[in-house]
Amino acid sequence: MSAPFAGRVAIVTGGSDGIGRATSELLAAKGAHVVVLARSMDKLEATRDAIIKQGGSVEIHSIDLSDAQAYADLVARIADAHGRLDMLVNNAMSVHYAPLDKLSLDHWRKDFAVNADAVFAGTKAAIAAMRKSGGGSIVNVSSTTAIRAAPFMTSYSASKAAMIQFSAVAAMEVARDNIRVNCVVPGQVQTAGNEDFARKAPEIAAKTAQAIPMGRGGKPDELAEAIVFLLSDAAAYITGVALPVDGGKSAQLYLPS
């Protein structure tokens, strides 16, 4: 594989599992030095070992993204240590699934802390570093629940919707600094959590997959390809977009059978 990102530094949050791990591995395969952030040290170490085995350059840091200031400080330290920051992927997420009358304010605040506050703080720190090194690219990972309503997803949906509009505004503010800010909007993705759910409730999982126009959930690698495209020079004239990567689900008009 060619190394179009050779000499570049990338940070990926939630980078030790699912979409984040696939993105970290793909960035490393394309030559970037990847800084993987997540909470679980066991998963971080497994991701680091896999990237090293593939010949990639990587470092890992354990952090709870609900502490937005700690995240912003870490982004600044990473950029200072490497003398640059070229790419940031805000992929870490918090989700609470409950009907509105059962959802606590603490749950609402936790989802916003990770899905909105941390994205704000990390993006702000990244922009400061990218201005110093001549530009960069940021991709924030949202959700189709941010653009289509689903019951019991109040705090997750609202925080992911905030992410999309924040990204668009940030893109407008830094476009003249050679910094691009975009979102990907995943639908159902066959992460470890979804695979576990499918084993426990196969009939529901099958019906959910069949409701997607393409008839299946996405693969982490497919989301990683979209994220890395938006980070790359091939997307040099793309900023402020929210790109659905969902097998056609968000474009689908529901008609009862």
In this prediction, residue 192 has a pLDDT band, given cuts at 50, 70 and 90, of confident
Our answer to whether residue 156 is catalytic in this structure is yes
Question: Bridge-partner residues for 61, per DSSP?
Answer: 37
Which range is least confidently modeled, 76-90, 168-182, 195-209, 223-237?
A: 195-209
Give the pLDDT confidence score for residue 197 in this predicted structure: 66
193 pLDDT more than 80: no
Amino acid at 244: P
Give the active site residue among 71, 97, 156, 237.
156
In this prediction, residue 205 has a pLDDT band, given cuts at 50, 70 and 90, of confident
pTM score of the predicted model: 0.95
How many residues does the structure list for the chain?
257
* Residues 100-110, mean pLDDT to the nearest whole number: 97
Q: Give the Cα separation of 229 and 225 in Å (integer).
A: 6
Query: Domain 9-190+219-244 maps to which CATH number in 3.30.530.20, 3.10.450.50, 3.40.50.2300, 3.40.50.720?
Result: 3.40.50.720
Give the pLDDT confidence score for residue 176 in this predicted structure: 98
* Residues 246-257, mean pLDDT to the nearest whole number: 88
190 pLDDT more than 90: no
Q: What is the mean pLDDT of the chain?
A: 95
Give the pLDDT confidence score for residue 124 in this predicted structure: 98
Q: Give the Cα separation of 168 and 162 in Å (integer).
A: 10
Percentage of the chain modeled with pLDDT above 90: 88
Domain locations along the chain? 9-190+219-244
Q: How far is CA 42 from CA 45, 49, 192, in A?
A: 5, 11, 15
| Of 152, 63, 57, the residue nearest 103 (C-alpha) | 152
> DSSP string of 212-240?
STTSSPBPHHHHHHHHHHHHSGGGTT--S
| Of 39, 88, 36, 89, the residue nearest 62 (C-alpha) | 39
In this prediction, residue 206 has a pLDDT band, given cuts at 50, 70 and 90, of confident
Give the pLDDT confidence score for residue 1 in this predicted structure: 59
- First vs last Cα of the chain: how many Å apart? 46
